[in-house]
Amino acid sequence: MSALVAGIGCVWFAAIVGGATGFGSALIGTPLMLLVGVDLPVAVAMNLAAGFVTRAAVAVQLRSAMVRKRVIQLCLGAVPGIFAGLALLSWLPMSGLRVFAGAATVVCGIWLALPTARAGRPGSVLTVATGVVGGFLTSTTSLGGPPPVLLMQWARVPSLTFIADLAGYFVVTTGLSLVVLVAGGKVPTDLPWWLIVGVLAAAMAGNAIGMRIARRLGQDRFRVLVIVFVVVAGIATLLT
């Protein structure tokens, strides 16, 4: 029980990061929960539940800042990407894919940090394709966030729109992933009620703190923070 209580604290801290950057809660939460002794399937279930409820709350709260066309295009790509990844899980060399995904994320994050990296205007085809890659990486390596993050960082999307669009994207990807994993018996469904309540409460409280931080950050500081977490996500993927 002590590990599960500590896991709730990990969810709270990870939700602060997720609220401030729009992503990264699973990146922070998973290794922290494993460190305090939470079993991996339970950690996955806690992360997905926390991610879904917090991103849904953000999507509602920032709906006026959301670019719905971009969110729809990302999600249209993510859904087949998720199922493609699940279909290929039986024979894909996961170690090689994880190394490639991590290295590519680090390189892209560093490129975005360079002063020579100019803002772009991604079209519909590139946005949908980004969703496909994100969905595929969600179901195979759990690294589904960096592709849309990199796309919107490249486009220099304003911080609140950035967080709102990612929230819409993550509501679909985390919700679908949770349903698929539960249906496939990959995550436990007999968790104690107090753990579920604690996870959701901690996630919402942490997310509220993170959102306050995000609203007070200037665009330049927000951009630096996101790039740092993109690079950290890539390095964490390489090391796990």
Q: How many domains does the chain have?
A: 1
Mean pLDDT (whole number) for 127-132: 95
Give the number of other CB atoms < 10 A from CB of residue 93.
9
Distance, in Å, from the CA atom of 62 to the CA atom of 54, rounded to the nearest integer, reads 12
Distance, in Å, from the CA atom of 83 to the CA atom of 99, rounded to the nearest integer, reads 21
Res 240 pLDDT > 90: no
Q: Which residues contact 20 (CB under 8 A, 6 or more apart)?
A: 210, 211, 213, 214, 217, 225
Highest mean pLDDT out of 1-15, 116-130, 179-193: 1-15
Q: Where are the alpha helices (DSSP H) in 89-123?
A: 94-113
Residue 186 pLDDT: 73
Q: Which of 31-40, 146-155, 161-170 bottoms out in mean pLDDT, i.e. has the lowest?
A: 31-40
Distance, in Å, from the CA atom of 191 to the CA atom of 213, rounded to the nearest integer, reads 32
**pLDDT, tens digit (0-9, with 9 covering 90-100), for 196-233:** 899 999 999 999 999 898 888 877 788 788 778 778 77
| Residue 69 lies in domain | 1-239
Nearest to 50 by CA among 199, 168, 151: 199
Between the alpha carbon of residue 41 and those of residues 16, 27, 38, 108, 189, the distances in Å are 22, 15, 9, 30, 10
Residue 97 pLDDT: 65
